[in-house]
């Protein structure tokens, strides 16, 4: 598990790229500059790990594009100690970004193979999310709710009610909503019954899998 000056150099280029695309949050940029993304993917992709692209991981899933990770994280406005629910642990890269920002991360993964692999890997490289679970992200984590922030990292065909219900008043949830192409959507909970909704640009994610797929 090497992280050498070549990787570090490429990471700084990646930081410049996402900055050019509009990311301004220094803590988010610092996290991207620090996390060895090449270790979160298959070694055959090592040479490409610092391109601003999504890549395949196990179980037909993907590690998200760094710009997308940065965009969603920036919209969450993470503060140290925030309790954050992530839906779709995947490679663990987004989890690591949230940990770098000082969040207490609770993450759910629907593919058992990825859940097992990523749990071991994050531990091995020193990231300590509060809780990783194998299960259905549509349901959130009622046992650990409410959360300050919620991030959904797969394309949701609709906004799961359970997730909105697990957000604290004042909390923020960022979720890509749509089928083939998704609209990045931010919800801010204003009161127990009111949410502000803001839509951003279009993104393309693997689907948030339901009961039947």
- Which residues belong to the active site? 64
Query: Least CB distance from residue 87 to ligand SAM, whole Å?
Result: 5
Binding residue for ligand SAM, selected from 3, 77, 136, 162, defined by CB under 6 A: 136
Q: How many residues does the chain have?
A: 213
Instruction: Check residue 159 for interaction with ligand SAM (CB under 6 A).
Output: no
Helix (H) or strand (E) segment spanning residue 203? strand 195-203
For ligand SAM, the closer of residues 90 and 171 by Cβ is 90
Give 171's contacts (C-beta < 8 A, 6+ positions apart).
Answer: 146, 147, 148, 149, 150, 188, 189
Binding residue for ligand SAM, selected from 73, 111, 166, 185, defined by CB under 6 A: 111
Binding residue for ligand SAM, selected from 154, 163, 175, 184, defined by CB under 6 A: 154
Q: Find the binding residues for ligand SAM in span 43-62 (CB under 6 A).
A: 61-62
Query: Least CB distance from residue 28 to ligand SAM, whole Å?
Result: 14
Query: Least CB distance from residue 63 to ligand SAM, whole Å?
Result: 4
Token readout for 74 is 């920036």
Query: Least CB distance from residue 169 to ligand SAM, whole Å?
Result: 25
Instruction: Check residue 178 for interaction with ligand SAM (CB under 6 A).
Output: no
b/e per residue 45-72 (b: at least 16 CB within 10 A): beeebbbbebbebeeebbbbbbbbbbbb
Cα distances (angstroms) measured from residue 11 to each of 46, 47, 171, 210 = 12, 12, 31, 35
Instruction: Check residue 93 for interaction with ligand SAM (CB under 6 A).
Output: yes
Instruction: Check residue 87 for interaction with ligand SAM (CB under 6 A).
Output: yes
């Amino acid at each position: 598990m090497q992280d050498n000056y070549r990787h570090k150099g490429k990471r700084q280029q990646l930081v410049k790229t996402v900055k050019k695309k509009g990311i301004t949050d220094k803590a988010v940029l610092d996290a991207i500059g620090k996390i060895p993304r090449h270790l979160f993917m298959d070694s055959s992709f090592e040479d490409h790990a610092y391109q601003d692209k999504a890549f395949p991981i196990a179980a037909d899933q993907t590690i998200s594009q760094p710009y997308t990770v940065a965009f969603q994280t920036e919209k969450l406005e993470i503060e140290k100690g925030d309790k954050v629910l992530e839906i779709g642990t995947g490679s663990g890269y987004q989890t690591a970004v949230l940990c770098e920002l000082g969040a207490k991360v609770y993450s759910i993964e629907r593919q058992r193979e990825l859940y097992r692999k990523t749990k071991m890997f994050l531990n091995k490289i020193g990231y300590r999310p509060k809780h990783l679970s194998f299960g259905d992200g549509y349901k959130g984590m009622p046992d650990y709710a409410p959360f300050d922030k919620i991030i959904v990292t797969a394309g949701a065909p609709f906004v799961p009610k359970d997730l909105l219900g697990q957000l604290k008043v004042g909390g923020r949830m960022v979720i890509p909503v749509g089928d083939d192409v998704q609209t990045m959507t931010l919800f801010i909970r204003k009161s127990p019954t009111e949410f502000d909704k803001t839509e951003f640009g279009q993104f393309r994610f693997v689907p948030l899998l339901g009961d039947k797929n």
